[in-house]
Homo-oligomer: A and B are copies of this chain.
Amino acid sequence: MSQRTLLLLSQDNAHYERLLKAANLPHLRILRADNQSDAEKLIGEAHILMAEPARAKPLLPKANKLSWFQSTYAGVDVLLDPDSRRDYQLTNVRGIFGPLMSEYVFGHLLSLMRQIPLYREQQKQRLWQSHPYQGLKGRTMLILGTGSIGQHIAHTGKHFGMKVLGISRSGRERAGFDQVYQLPALNKMLAQADVIVSVLPATRDTRHLFNAARFEHCKPGAILFNVGRGSAVHSGDLLTALRTGKLAMAVLDVFEQEPLPADSPLWGQPNLIVTPHNSAYSFPDDVAQIFVRNYIRFIDGQPLDGKIDFDKGY
């Protein structure tokens, strides 16, 4: 079998090189491009790319030998424009983000439910004063997206005694969910949801799914999380919903434009929490392990894990 060339194009190149060399993968030559000029020099040799999508995108037209692109991120939407190349296999990382995203969602949710910031302020004033609260038990969580991340968040919700509903394209039953519905049921489900969590990818169908008309259906007091893609939420309409009380609170890790511009009114909205797209993180050890498993499949001609359907967009 002939040798394959892998080009590494990520901020964790050194780490990946060490891990992959240690794995002794057969017939694999590993190259690193740590800067733009190296990348342009080496891209023509690459049969395989292991890269951050945005970093690799401008180089794709010159990747003449490319047959497989392993994204080091979950989000690959920058590679899915209708006029982009589709003559290679694109895989993303899946299955490793569920626990971290669940920690993010429940860390923020419990911090809000249990008024942690309020007690922090009271501590500064040396004030011993308790305020009423309710637990998560019996509350309803609606999760948009029932893949591995959605399922993990659902299991955590069930652990805390919540009722967990899901929305997916197929409406198929999934582990951790009490019930899964298709998109047309969304408005009806929103009326029941105390907590809404979007883990949706960026596709044509999910763009601005949360807009002014949608927020009309939310239960008063509801909290919205977006840990999927920013495009699922219309920022202007969200601000109005937060200002008028259609929605009690939003916790956003993703935005239509990232980094969120300093002049965005989202930063200053009191009932909105902004975090810099870090609800989950691709730990290099996990990503390298996914690559190793996929490489064995690749040289065996087997279907790759995490393969993106260019039409569906995920």
**Could you tell me which A residues sit within 8 Å of B by CB distance?**
99-100, 102-104, 106-108, 110-111, 113-114, 116-117, 119-120, 122-123, 126, 128-133, 135-137, 155-156, 159-161, 258-260, 262, 264, 267-268, 273-278, 281
Q: How far is the CA of A132 from the CA of B284 in the complex (A)?
A: 13
Q: Which residues of B contact A114 (CB under 8 A)?
A: 103-104, 107
CB closest residue in chain B, given A104: B114
Residues of B within 8 A of A120 (CB): 117, 273
Chain B residues whose C-beta falls within 8 Å of the C-beta of A103 in the assembled complex: 110, 113-114, 135-136, 160
Bound-state CA distance A128–B267 (Å) is 10
> Can you list 27 A-B contacts with CB-CB less than 8 angstroms, sorted by A residue number?
A99-B136, A99-B137, A102-B160, A103-B113, A103-B135, A103-B136, A104-B114, A106-B107, A107-B110, A107-B114, A107-B116, A108-B116, A110-B110, A111-B111, A111-B116, A117-B117, A119-B273, A122-B276, A123-B267, A126-B264, A128-B258, A129-B276, A130-B276, A130-B277, A131-B278, A133-B278, A133-B281
In the complex, residue of chain B having the shortest beta-carbon distance to the beta carbon of A132: B281
Contacting A135 at CB < 8 Å: which of B99, B111, B262? Answer: B99
Query: What is the bound-complex CA distance between A145 and B33, given in angstroms?
Result: 53
Most buried by B among A108, A113, A260: A108
B111:A107 contact, CB within 8 angstroms: yes
Hey, which chain B residues are within 8 Å of A274, CB to CB? Answer: 119, 123
Query: Which residue of B is nearest A110, CB measured?
Result: B107
Of all chain B residues, the one with the shortest Cβ separation from A116 is B111
Query: What separation, in Å, do the CA atoms of A137 and B262 have in the docked complex?
Result: 34
| From B128, B131, B259, contact of A260 by CB (8 A) | B128
